[in-house]
Structures are given as C-alpha cells and as structure tokens.
Amino acid sequence: MVPSGLRRKYLLRSKDQSQKLIRVNSQIRDVVRFRRVRSLDGELSFREPIDIIFCSSLNSQVGKDTWSRLTASFCRYLMPGGYLFLRDPHPQIEAQVPLQLVAPTIYKRIEL
C-alpha cells in the first residue's frame, strides 16, 4: 500500500472514475525507465540493477521449473532492498532465493 502522502504527491487517478487505474506523474516518469519484458521467452538481461520489478502476467499456473528459473533471474538483477511485485500470490518461491515476503504478493530482495 502506498502511503497517502506519496499517493497524493506522485500518483494520478483516471479521469474516468469508474476505472480503477492510476498513473505516475511526470516528475516520476521523467526519472524512471519503464520496460516491458517477455520473461517466459528466455533469460532476462538488463544493463544495470533494478529497484522494482512488477510481474503482472505470471500466475500460479506457471510450472515449478519455469518459476524457479524466473525468480533466480529476477534476483540476479534486483538490487538488495529492491521489490518484486506479483499479480497473484505464488506458492513456489524457493527458500534458497533471496526474497523475503513482506505482503501477500510483495517480496523484498535480501542479502544472503
């Protein structure tokens, strides 16, 4: 949950109030790089560490081998202290992966 002060400062609501959509304001968009990555297509590759990964298209139907490969790849690029946001809770996060559950669908990258 984003604290209300930060929400008011950085997030914009949809003009259509029936939509539950938000957008980050230009102050954030100007300094943040957003990228879509098809993670099931192969190994992830980034030039520098990442602070936050939003993983919205994977669900609990992904096989254990695929999920293990993806979480290992996420952890390789996620900075210590960075966050992995999942769309759905995922029961297959392995104990040896340096992720700490902080909310039902949010993990924090920790140092091992």
Summarised one tens digit per residue, pLDDT across range 27-81 is 988 888 777 776 665 567 778 888 888 887 666 667 778 778 888 888 888 999 9
Q: What is the Cα–Cα distance from 37 to 78, expressed in whole angstroms?
A: 14
Q: Is the pLDDT of residue 16 over 80?
A: yes
Bridging pattern class, strands 99-103 and 106-109 = antiparallel
Bridging pattern class, strands 106-109 and 50-55 = unpaired
Per-chain mean pLDDT for the chain: 81
Give pLDDT, residue 109. 94
The whole model's pTM is what? 0.69
Q: Cβ neighbours of residue 38 under 8 Å, at least 6 residues apart? A: none
The tokens for 58 are 């994977």
Q: Is the pLDDT of residue 100 over 80?
A: yes
Amino acid in position 29? R
The tokens for 83 are 């966050």
